[in-house]
């Protein structure tokens, strides 16, 4: 690689050529800077939102709470930004923007550039003529040229699109960009609202309102026919009642079993307990013996009296002895016929047991009757619960129909209100896009930058002069430097002797 000494030596030896080429390039750079018409850039910014200004027009937007915010903001997607960029730079809007716009004044530089451009486009014009391609109108060609000077760019980490338009006339660039953005907003207003939408949504909402009233009336009639006010509360109340009846049945069943066991025990105890008990017992002598004993005593007295007068073997004594023996035999025969008198009374223990047995049997019968009644009531409750469940299914179906009709009706009412609000928003140009920065009149040209052009021209002039000198040096067969000697012979240079002559 050549060092700086080589280039210094080369520039000194070929200074004439270097100065000529560098001067020519620098002159061209200066001439181009002077003659090139200034380019002004008008800039505007468009803010893109996912939704335009939202108002409390929808039935489902209520208080501004975290669960139901009054205004909902959604992030703008990259597709939204790209769509807006394509729309604002569309040829359709450009043609509308320049429909009645005057052409900018052309300077000498513009005429020169137009001449060069026309010259360069001659092959394309000839090709189109050869193949019968219809030439574009002046308005179309102007639109295409303006499209090339219109650029858009999304500002990083934002929802803002920067629109740039360059032209040689500062005021004209501002005017064109302003007209373009106005056409852009007007086009947005047209495509974001359909005049027939509000009418359509109003018609549909009326139909859905009628259907909603019919479904609500069907639900109300079903509730009246089945006596249902609050099916959940009534079902829970019925379940509680059935549970209480089952609990009473279980308690009554236990009471019935207990009464039966008590009755069986008392019945056995009653059989073992005597019904009556002896209260008093006495013996009463036979009335016949009471009359016979005095007679015997009288006969004994007569015999004793007769013995004092007669012999024991006398007839009289034997007669009395015979009477006395007969009476004695009667006494002996009738002595066991003594009457026994006894008094009895009911056994109080037996009476108590029998009374308890009656109560136990009555309780068992009552419990059995209650058991039957409770079983019937539980069966009726189960039937009512099953009917309530079936009614609940039917009511759920009717309620779902009401909810569906209400949701559809609410949706169309919301859409109709949003369409009405959209028309007002469009009339006031309140869109989901807004001009964040209006096009400003460019104060300074974007191009050319004189000092930068001169620096670049100087660098190009020096580079071109050195390149020309190097090219000339390569074509010269004479050897002027140690570097050339090393290239030709491959030998290193020990010393260099300057020729002062």
**25-39, 91-105, 186-200, 485-499: the lowest-pLDDT one:** 485-499
Residues 377 and 371: their CA atoms lie apart, in Å, by 10
**Which H or E element spans position 194?**
none
* Coil, strand or helix at 432: coil
Write the pLDDT tens digit of every residue in 106-147. 666 556 656 766 676 767 767 766 777 667 677 788 888 889
Write the pLDDT tens digit of every residue in 230-251. 778 888 888 898 898 888 888 8
Per the structure block, which two tokens stand in for 335?
A: 């002595």
Residues 189 and 169: their CA atoms lie apart, in Å, by 30
Nearest to 94 by CA among 57, 50, 129, 139: 139
Question: What pLDDT does residue 88 have?
Answer: 92
Strands 40-48 and 433-437: antiparallel
Question: What pLDDT does residue 59 have?
Answer: 47
Region 38-190+434-441: CATH code: 3.30.1890
**Which H or E element spans position 480?**
none
* Coil, strand or helix at 94: helix
Question: What pLDDT does residue 194 have?
Answer: 65
Question: What pLDDT does residue 61 have?
Answer: 46
pLDDT at 91 over 70: yes
Mean local confidence (pLDDT), 185-193: 79
Residues 186 and 177: their CA atoms lie apart, in Å, by 14
| Side-chain half-sphere CA neighbours of 3 within 13 A | 4
Instruction: Note the maximum CA span of the chain.
Output: 243
Question: What pLDDT does residue 290 have?
Answer: 63
Question: What pLDDT does residue 447 have?
Answer: 73
What are 144-149's contacts with CB under 8 Å, separation 24+? 144/91, 146/94, 146/98, 146/176, 147/89, 147/91, 147/94
pLDDT at 438 over 70: yes
| Boundaries of every domain in the chain | 1-36+448-501, 38-190+434-441, 276-346
- Range list of β-strands (E), 7-141: 40-48
Residues 186 and 88: their CA atoms lie apart, in Å, by 11
pLDDT at 291 over 70: no
């Amino acid at each position: 690689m050549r060092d700086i000494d080589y280039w210094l030596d080369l520039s000194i030896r070929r200074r004439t050529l270097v100065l000529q080429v560098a001067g020519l390039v620098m002159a061209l750079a200066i001439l181009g800077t002077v003659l090139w018409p200034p380019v002004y850039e008008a800039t505007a910014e468009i803010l893109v939102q996912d939704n335009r200004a939202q108002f409390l027009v929808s039935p489902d937007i209520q208080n501004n709470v975290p669960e139901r915010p009054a205004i909902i903001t959604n992030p703008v997607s990259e597709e939204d930004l790209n769509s807006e960029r394509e729309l604002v730079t569309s040829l359709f809007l450009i043609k509308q923007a320049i429909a009645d716009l005057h052409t900018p004044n052309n300077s000498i530089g513009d005429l020169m550039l137009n001449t060069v451009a026309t010259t360069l486009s001659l092959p394309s014009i000839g090709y189109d003529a050869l193949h019968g391609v219809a030439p574009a109108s002046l308005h179309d060609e102007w639109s295409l040229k303006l499209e090339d000077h219109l650029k858009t760019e999304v500002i990083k980490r934002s929802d803002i699109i920067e629109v740039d338009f360059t032209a040689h006339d500062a005021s004209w660039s501002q005017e064109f960009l302003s007209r373009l953005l106005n056409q852009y907003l007007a086009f947005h207003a047209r495509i974001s609202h359909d005049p027939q939408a509000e009418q359509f949504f109003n018609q549909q909402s009326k139909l859905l309102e009628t259907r909603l009233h019919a479904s609500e009336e069907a639900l109300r009639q079903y509730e009246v026919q089945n006596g249902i006010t609050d099916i959940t509360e009534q079902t829970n109340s019925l379940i509680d009642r059935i549970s209480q009846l089952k609990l009473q049945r279980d308690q009554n069943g236990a009471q019935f079993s207990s009464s039966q066991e008590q009755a069986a025990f008392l019945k056995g105890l009653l059989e073992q307990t005597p019904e009556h008990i002896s209260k008093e017992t006495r013996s009463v002598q036979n009335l016949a013996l009471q009359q016979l004993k005095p007679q015997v005593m009288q006969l004994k007295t007569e015999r004793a009296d007769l013995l004092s007068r007669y012999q024991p073997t006398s007839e009289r004594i034997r007669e009395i002895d015979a009477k006395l023996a007969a009476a004695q035999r009667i006494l002996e025969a009738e002595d066991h016929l003594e009457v026994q008198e006894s008094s009895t009374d009911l056994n109080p223990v037996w009476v108590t047991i029998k009374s308890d047995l009656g109560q136990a049997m009555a309780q068992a019968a009552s419990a059995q009757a209650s058991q039957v009644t409770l079983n019937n009531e539980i069966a009726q409750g189960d039937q009512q619960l099953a009917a309530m469940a079936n009614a609940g299914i039917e009511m759920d179906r009717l309620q779902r129909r009401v909810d569906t009709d209400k949701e559809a009706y609410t949706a169309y009412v919301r859409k109709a209100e949003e369409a009405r609000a959209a028309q007002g928003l469009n009339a006031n140009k309140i869109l989901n896009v807004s001009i964040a920065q209006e096009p400003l009149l460019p104060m300074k040209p974007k191009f050319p930058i004189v000092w930068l052009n001169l620096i670049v021209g100087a660098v190009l002039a020096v580079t071109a002069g050195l390149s020309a000198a190097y090219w000339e040096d390569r074509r010269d067969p004479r050897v002027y430097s140690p570097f050339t000697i090393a290239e030709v012979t491959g030998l290193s240079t020990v010393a260099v002797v300057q020729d002062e002559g």
